[in-house]
A and B are shown apart, each in its own frame.
Chain A
């Protein structure tokens, strides 16, 4: 089963996204902030990371920067799911392992599922 690590600091939105992804057949673990994601990533060995940018504490980009410095985490495909999508360019984010940017302000619930499937292809 595909393992997804969702890094999202809004608990209600995270619960909604976990529900949608679990219903689609993924094994989802939620980390509410960057530190929690770092602590759990070795144990979880996720196939895909979904990361919000503006997190409580360190930002999602700081987290991705950190993950790029480890051999085993730098290859995990990343989906950025954010309200700041209009200010971000996928090309600029590619060096952080980002394969897709999902705009929270216009996405449909199933868009996240589609994004996970797309980056696993």
Chain B
């Protein structure tokens, strides 16, 4: 990750300070979470309990982002083992992990199970982080009472498996859509998802996908968007 100089050529690496900042942030966030968890046990009324749960869930969300930041900074140095993975299990884990957060916000998170499972080549941890990022992003831009849905499908011609996270938030304007498309195609520039978002989570998701020779993208709907990751289908697919 680099900052671009005024002449567009000179750049200054900012990975180290970012990683250091992420590490520094982890301690206070972990402390806030622990304090909230402890207080939640002692809370005597529903309103206090609800607020403490919100503090816990929010700090967990921030911790996920800081962990992603530290992980992204190590992508070039570390070897991430790629293996055939059934993405359904990963989706199931995400739904399990994030359900309390979605419920606390009055939303639901689900995924469609396929009759015939698809296998793709990925690193399980990185894939989980991408989908958690998409889900966090969807949570932020949907209305209470709406659903966020994960879907897995094969794109046979391209030999890839696509996992999408579909939300039912406000439609994107054409201008915002063009800007988003341009930014997604220009990774590693930050991907600004929607107004009021830094797009950091999506930028990191793009980095993780790239580390697995995959891509991320977005599809616009009348009533929301689908953010997706495409990864190479496993050859073991043909054995199923």
Contacts and interface: CB of A to CB of B under 8 A. Distances in A.
A83 B34 contact: no
B189 interface: no
B231 interface: no
Interface stretch (B24-32, B100-108, B112-120, B180-188): B24-32
A12 B33 CA distance: 12
A109 B37 contact: yes
**Which 10 residue pairs spanning A and B have beta carbons closest together?**
A83-B26, A104-B30, A105-B63, A13-B31, A105-B30, A109-B38, A109-B37, A16-B34, A83-B30, A12-B31
B23 interface: yes
Q: How large, as a class, is the contact surface on chain A?
A: 10 to 19
Given A16-B38, A105-B63, A105-B67, A10 B26 contact: no
B35 interface: yes
Central interface residue in B27, B33, B37, B67, by most chain A CB within 10 Å: B27
A108 interface: yes
Interface of A: 10, 12-13, 16, 19-20, 54, 83-84, 86-87, 104-109
Given A83-B23, A86-B67, A105-B63, A20 B38 contact: yes
A83 B27 contact: yes
Q: Which of A20, A87, A104 has the most CB of B within 10 A?
A: A104
Contacts of A87: 70
Contacts of B29: 105
A92 B60 CA distance: 27
Contacts of B37: 108-109
Contact of A10 (B23, B27, B33, B71): B27
Contact of A105 (B26, B35, B71): B26
A12 B34 CA distance: 10
A86 B129 CA distance: 13
11 contacts: A10-B27, A10-B31, A12-B31, A12-B35, A13-B31, A16-B35, A16-B38, A83-B26, A83-B27, A105-B30, A109-B38
Contacts of A54: 23, 27
A57 B149 CA distance: 48
Interface string B27-61: 10111011101100100000000000000000010
B78 to A, nearest CB: 10
Given A10-B31, A12-B31, A109-B38, 9 more contacts: A13-B34, A16-B34, A20-B38, A54-B27, A83-B23, A86-B67, A104-B27, A105-B33, A109-B41
